[in-house]
Structure 1
Amino acid sequence: MYRKILITTDGSAVSKQTACAGVAFARQMGAEVMALYVAAEYQYPVYVEIIPPSYPLEEEYVETMIRTGEEHTGPIMRAAEQAGLKHSAVTAFADSPALKIVEIADKHNCDLIFMGSHGRSGWGQLLLGSVTNKVLSHTLKPVLVHRLIQEPAA
């Protein structure tokens, strides 16, 4: 049914559990896995005309975020490899993670976006899960939201 599944991660405990469930789902489908980590765009300090010495240069920031992306997508890649699935990982940069997720899914012809949710209701739902809600409202692709009933241990 699905040939290529985009599994998103932000490195949180929720997204780590979601990633495990995503790979298991992909294995059941026999689908390829693409892991995605979206880092914030580099922000120049706007309050000064000269970049302070302690502020990272853009190149340093990009290198650090690429390493961070590899750390966060690494477990997904290892799990997909162990499951015998074709797999790849992408670290992307954007100020709006939701829009970048939709863009990457389209660009790489993913059939499904697999994302996590904290499973909160009421006011908690309003405060969290905004990325998932934005993805749901900006894509025509199917989005499977893996809902955690209980917060994972840190």
Structure 2
Amino acid sequence: MYRKILITTDGSAVSQHTACAGVKFAQQMQAEVLALFVAPSYQYPVYVEIVPPAYPSEEEYLAQMRRMGEEYMGSIMRAAEKAGLQHSCMTAFSDTAALKIVDVAEQQGCDLIFMGSHGRSGWGQLLLGSVTNKVLSHTSKPVLVHRLIREPGT
């Protein structure tokens, strides 16, 4: 039914558990897995006239975020490989993670977006916003939302 599934992660324990569930789902479908980590865009310091010496250059920042993304997506890649699935990973940069997820799903020809929900409701959801809700409202692709009943480790 699905040939290519986009699995998102932000490196949190919740998203790692979601990613494992996503790989299991992909295995049932015998679908290819594309893991995605969206890092914030590089921000130039605007509060001073001279860049502080400890402030990372844009190249250093991008390299560090790519390393972090590879670390976050490593468990997804290992699980997909163990399951015998085709797999790849990608680190993207954007200050609007939801829109970037939708764009990547379109550009990469994904049939399904598999992502987690922290399960916030009421004021927490309203005040904090939700990448998952924004993805749902900006894509015409199917989105499978994996919701944990309780936090990992509890």
Q: TM-score, normalised by structure 2?
A: 0.96
Q: Which amino acid aligns with 2:55?
A: Y
Instruction: Classify the secondary structure of the residue corresponding to 2:16.
Output: helix
Matched positions, count: 154
| SS of aligned partner of 2:133 | helix
Equivalence for 1:90: 90
Residue of structure 1 equivalent to 2:79: 79
The verdict on how the C-alpha distance between 1:129 and 1:25 changes in structure 2, with shifts beyond 3 A counting, is: farther
Which whole-Å deviations, capped at 9, do the CAs of 1:14-71 have from their partners, x for residues lacking one?
Answer: 1000000000000000100000000000000111121110111111101100000000
What pairs up with 1:1-154 in 2 under 5 angstroms?
1-128=1-128, 130-153=130-153
Q: Counterpart of 1:45 in 2: which secondary structure?
A: coil
Give identity over the alignment, percent. Answer: 76
Please list every run of 5 or more consecutive structure 2 residues that lacks an aligned counterpart in the other structure: none
Report the secondary structure of 2:115's partner residue: strand
Most deviating of 1-10 and 119-128: 119-128
Provide the secondary structure at the position in 2 that maps to 1:92. strand
- Rounded to whole Å, the distance in 2 between the matches of 1:114 and 1:33 is 10
Report deviation, 1:123.
2.4
1:77 and 1:88 in contact (8 A); partners too: yes
Matched letter for residue 5 of structure 1: I
Segments of 5+ residues of structure 1 without an aligned counterpart are none
Distance in 2 of aligned mates of 1:42 and 1:121: 31
What TM-score results when the alignment is normalised by the length of structure 1?
A: 0.96
Runs of 4 or more above 4 Å deviation: none
Distance 1:82 1:150, change over 3 A: same
